[in-house]
Amino acid sequence: MADGIVDARTKARLYEVILDEGSISRAAPDVEHERAVAIYDLVEENEFQPVGHDGGPYRLRLALVDQKMVFDIADAHGAPVVAHILSMTPFRRIVKDYFMICESYFAAIKTSSPSQIETIDMARRGVHNDGSQVLIDRLAGKIEIDFNTARRLFTVICALHWKG
């Protein structure tokens, strides 16, 4: 911010992400840590703009209701902007595949060659990219996000489903 002027990059972003404690249960300490890291990474660098609104930066409150992710968006003053409900059905298989590949990756680190580990990691990144693209597609016309923000947000979604 220069001379009190907020530029578009500062406005079209998230400044805070909150998990709804009423619908997203607390988890084991290691899972809570992963969630916190995913949220920190998302808040640190993102491009996030509800379609038709330019009064950011924004606070995003995430909730899970009836197998749906609720994106409750408010402005920097706490005024409601919009709430979007996103079915998690299109993400079920991708999240499941992502967790399976992550398990393979962590097992491979212990016993596999560097080239085998790299191959598994490339597959993991590919599934992560697929989930990120599904997220962009599902939010199209509602929330504008860039691919890197989608990747970070997909990581948060996965962290919410991880059992540890």
User: Residue 37: what pLDDT?
Assistant: 92
User: Residue 55: what pLDDT?
Assistant: 81
Question: 9-31, pLDDT tens digit by residue?
Answer: 578 999 999 998 888 878 778 77
In which domain, by residue range, is 153 found?
Answer: 8-161
Considering the domain boundaries, does residue 20 fall inside one?
Answer: yes
User: Residue 6: what pLDDT?
Assistant: 45
* Alpha-carbon Rg for the chain in angstroms: 17
Considering the domain boundaries, does residue 45 fall inside one?
Answer: yes
User: Residue 127: what pLDDT?
Assistant: 95
Instruction: Give every residue of the chain whose pLDDT is below 70, as ranges.
Output: 1-9, 163-164
Report the distance separating Cα 124 and Cα 150, nearest Å.
Answer: 16
Residue 151, Cα to own-chain centre: how many angstroms?
Answer: 7
Considering the domain boundaries, does residue 1 fall inside one?
Answer: no
User: Residue 9: what pLDDT?
Assistant: 55
Considering the domain boundaries, does residue 156 fall inside one?
Answer: yes
Q: Which residues contact 137 (CB under 8 A, 6 or more apart)?
A: none
